[in-house]
Structure 1
Amino acid sequence: MEIIEIEKEQIPYRFEIVLTDTVFTFEVHYNSEYDFFTIDLERDGEVLATGNKLVYGVPLFSSSVDERFPQVEILPYDESGSAQVVNWKTLSESVFLYMFEEEEDG
């Protein structure tokens, strides 16, 4: 299980990450008025998703069943159980983005 590090002090910012041998670009944003984070996703310069909100316990990009999206589950989660929400106070403190390899059917 790996963690995608979010550097809150740099927001808004972009970074590249290799997931299942494919390079993706994540762009991280923060809504200070409502205290939540969003992720934009690109692959090979093509925008696949914008404004995807980080919700505790809900896999990122879970509403997309498109093969162009990462084939890993990215889950905002707190292993300590002390937080159950993703906000400025918890992200990268107790809540992290955990990656799980998706198992293929069959």
Structure 2
Amino acid sequence: MIIPIQKEQIPNEFEIRLAGELFTFEVHYNAEYDFFTVDLYKSGDVLVLGEKVVYDSPLFDTYSDERFPGVTITPLDRADNEDRVTYSNLGNTVFLYVSDDDG
């Protein structure tokens, strides 16, 4: 599964079902330094604000709280041509891939 990001609508807030649970993502873009961040909410509660989207680094990986999604979300370019997430490549060559934590 790929999480779609609507760059043209940033800041973009949307709901998504992950591992059977509903979460709210809010995506922001820092134009000065060309990077994205994600805020994550569950049932209206803030789980994290400003998680930087880093190439090949799973989002929310440093949190062990059971309220977080039971999946791994990793920004990747399947062709392995990119080494960072930028405005020009997110949604074109780099996507947020969701994989089940159970394998």
Aligned length: 103
Distance (whole Å) between structure 2 residues aligned to residue 81 and residue 37 of structure 1: 20
Gaps of 5+ in 2: none
1:93 counterpart = 2:81: no
Mapping 1:19-58, distance limit 5 Å: 19-58=18-57
Gaps of 5+ in 1: none
Normalised TM-score (structure 2) = 0.97
Distance (whole Å) between structure 1 residues aligned to residue 2 and residue 12 of structure 2: 18
Distance (whole Å) between structure 2 residues aligned to residue 16 and residue 103 of structure 1: 23
Normalised TM-score (structure 1) = 0.95
**Structure 1 position 30, deviation (Å):** 0.1
Match of 1:77 in 2: 76
**Structure 1 position 45, deviation (Å):** 0.4
Identical counterparts, % of pairs: 51
**Structure 1 position 65, deviation (Å):** 0.7
Distance (whole Å) between structure 1 residues aligned to residue 89 and residue 82 of structure 2: 7
- Superposed structure 1 runs of 4+ greater than 2 Å apart: none
